[in-house]
Every structure is written in C-alpha cells, then in structure tokens.
Amino acid sequence: MAHAAVHIPVAFIASIHSFTSFCLTVFVVFAAFEAANTDNAFSARHTATVSVAAARDLRYLLYDVNPPEGFNLRRDVYIRMASLVKTLRKDGDDWVLVLPPWGRLYHWQSPNIHQIRIPWGEFFSLTSLQANVPVIEYEEFIAEWFPTGGEEQQDQNPCVAEHP
C-alpha cells in the first residue's frame, strides 16, 4: 500500500512537468512567429516617441571616454565616433553625434579655471565639426530630450579598501 502512494506524487510531478514544457514550447513558437513577422525589431521606430526629435526618426549616438584621458585621445575618439556616424548615415538613417562635455583633465593644473562640463565649442568650431557629420553638444541634447530639466542622478560609492 505504501509502495503505491509513492508512484502517485511522481506521476503528478511528471504530468506537471510535461504541461509546463508544452506551454513553454507554445510560447516560444508564437514568439518566433511574431519576430519573423516584424520587419526590424531593433529599429528606433518601435520605441515610444517622447519629443519632436524622436518623431523625426533622429537617432543619437552618445559616447564618453575615461575621465583621466588627455586632450588628444579625446579628440581621436571624436574622429572615430564621427566616422561611425558617417557610416551609419549611409544606410539612410538620421544619426546625430552627441559630444560629451569636457571634464577636469589631469594636466590642466589651473584651479582658478572652470573645468567641469566644458562644451566642445570652447575648443573647436562646431560649424567645422558639422561639415562632416551632424553634432550637438551634450547640454543641447539634454535640453531637447528633457525640456523640463529632468533630474540628474549620480551614484557615488565609497572607495573599496586597498587590495592586499
């Protein structure tokens, strides 16, 4: 009698497992069918529009460099990113490169000069940069996408103890 009681829970668990597998299979088949019917699942047109820029199908490429990087490396990264945007625009998509603000550089040792969020226009002619690919300053991007100002948030964590 006790021997028969052991088989009932095992059979019940096996049937639940089979039902779960069946439901998962049906879900995967329908998901694959839906993905096959979608022309481009990763297109910006499938995102929610939140501003006039999004309604124009503009796409923005934001980038940054490591904070201690020097002036020349930052300029070189811009050249690479501009080249990428130029390549992306060849497909007919409307890409705009967002220029990250300049921050404090180690070799700029002048404490009396403002060195936080310096716009690219302080160093380069934006008109000249625009001749190659469309660019905007980071602050312009924020003003366009968050017209009410939004709220900037940063996570600041204490330094980890020194390694042994």
Choose the catalytic residue: 34, 69, 137, 140: 69
User: 3-state DSSP call for residue 62?
Assistant: strand
| Cα→Cα distances 66→17, 70, 103, 153, Å | 50, 9, 10, 19
The yes-or-no answer on residue 69 being catalytic is yes
Chain-centroid distance, C-alpha 53: 17
The count of other CB atoms within 10 Å of the CB of residue 136 is 19
Beta strands 58-62 and 94-99 are parallel
By annotation, the residues acting in catalysis are: 69
